[in-house]
Amino acid sequence: MEENGSEVSLTTGEHDVREEEPPGSSVEILTERMQKKSANRKNSPSINRLTSSFRETYFPGVTDAMWNDWKWQISNSFRTFAQLEKIRGFVRPPSYVNGNKDLLPLRITPYYASLVDFSDPADALYRCVIPTPEEYIISPGEGSDPLHEEGDSPVRNLVHRYPDRVLFLITGFCSTYCRYCTRSHMVAKKDKSHFALDDFEPAFAYIESHTEVRDVLLSGGDPFTLPDERLGYILERIRRIPHVEIIRIGTKVPAVLPQRIIPRLISVLRKYHPLYISIHFTHPRELTPEVGRACEMLADAGIPLGSQTVLLKGINDEVETMKQLMQGLLKIRVRPYYLYQCDPILGSSHFRTPVSKGLEIIKGLRGYTSGYAVPTYVIDAPGGGGKIPLLPDYVSGRDESYLLLKNYEDRLYRYPDFCTE
């Protein structure tokens, strides 16, 4: 999509969008190549009805081959309000003086934009990806790096907080920026978004020298925005380390850019089992046929899939909404894993719910749906304390040697707790 003139987004000053692009072809070269490749490519994946209507309206000259190419999706992402104002019903949010140094730029793939109701600022997906003035408000307890990841980083790109596992940040680029991102202090920043392969050597060396590390989590940014060759190189280097037992990848790409999940990527991933993937899902409206196909391809490659969801005020903080999401994930072979209390990053107060709301949701799921559909509700403790699980209080006390328990219907039961240590 072309834009008229330059645009200052809700960031501090001009933003050179070229700095945040992943390595790849320019939009002009890519579009020309795709048009020559085939304007009527057979066996293209079907497109859901809502997305098809959006594409016909705002990208009328785009072929199936182009639309289903992940690099085309990234190159044609919405990145300014000037672009979004061409969408029927969208009204630019008011501008305020920006006091938030970590504010993320705007970036939405055309595919994900097709799911958003741009005429309604209260729409769940709108609120996830559109900058609003509330992001400028800094509230007590918020911080640039509330989880203290930089303080737990022994070498560049690596966080070692837990005894037997490390977090390896391999890119600062995402195909779509979530407004509540816990790593807004590094994601999309010019000096923290792209790395040469040599930049990873200290991290590789650290993992190699720390034999207690059996689990490596690749994150960022989004690892699936990297070219296959680069991602494969990183996976191969890690898999070469004898004491690393499992590799995990954290991503939102299957939800916002399902076009990325293609056979070539699958052939790279399946070389490095045991490999696990945690996918960031937010709302049941993300569970389109395209997303279902992407997750099915990953699962068919023998990769266990889990979901990570952030609890967000006015977006997914109702029991029924969360139930639909969790049940829908199981249908596409994704096991609900974590439900996160929203981290207190700068300018996030409008996203955060009381902790009591999270407990209410877990209580509304437990017993009322399959146990597989109930994620673990956690707070990632500010200051680097790590994930702390939270549960509703099902223990009501004791009656001599009996433990008094409440079930999901709040009925009281007695368990004979006579055993001695």
Q: Which carries the bigger pLDDT value, residue 148 or residue 10?
A: 148
Question: H helices of 224-340, where?
Answer: 228-239, 253-256, 263-269, 289-300, 319-331
User: Tens digit of pLDDT for each residue in 202-231?
Assistant: 999 999 999 999 999 999 999 999 999 999
Q: How far is CA 244 from CA 36, 209, 286, 305, 392, in A?
A: 44, 11, 33, 19, 35
Cα Rg of the chain, angstroms: 22
User: What is the rounded average pLDDT for all residues in the chain?
Assistant: 89
Using pLDDT thresholds of 50, 70 and 90, give the confidence band for residue 113.
Answer: very high
Residue 403 has pLDDT above 80, yes or no: yes
Angle subtended by helix axes 319-331 and 355-365, to nearest 10 = 50
Contact 76, 63 (CB under 8 A): no
* Structure confidence at residue 421 (pLDDT): 67
Return d(Cα 115, Cα 289) in angstroms, integer. Answer: 12
CB within 8 A of 36, min separation 6: which ones?
Answer: none
Give the chain's domains with CATH numbers: 17-136 (no CATH), 150-390 (3.20.20.70), 393-421 (no CATH)
* Structure confidence at residue 301 (pLDDT): 98
Handedness of CA 275, 281, 284, 290 (dihedral sign): negative
Contact 103, 10 (CB under 8 A): yes
CB atoms within 10 A of CB 387: 15
* Structure confidence at residue 369 (pLDDT): 98
* Structure confidence at residue 95 (pLDDT): 73
Handedness of CA 56, 57, 62, 68 (dihedral sign): negative
Contact 22, 227 (CB under 8 A): yes
User: Tens digit of pLDDT for each residue in 255-274?
Assistant: 999 999 999 999 999 999 99
Residue 57 has pLDDT above 60, yes or no: yes
User: Tens digit of pLDDT for each residue in 5-37?
Assistant: 333 333 333 334 444 556 554 444 444 444 444
Give the residue numbers annotated as catalytic, written as ranges.
Answer: 161-162, 165, 174, 178, 181, 183, 343, 380, 387
pLDDT (average), residues 98-117 = 86
- Extract the tokens encoding 293: 């196909």
* Structure confidence at residue 194 (pLDDT): 75
Contact 75, 30 (CB under 8 A): yes
- Extract the tokens encoding 104: 């993320």
Return d(Cα 284, Cα 281) in angstroms, integer. Answer: 8
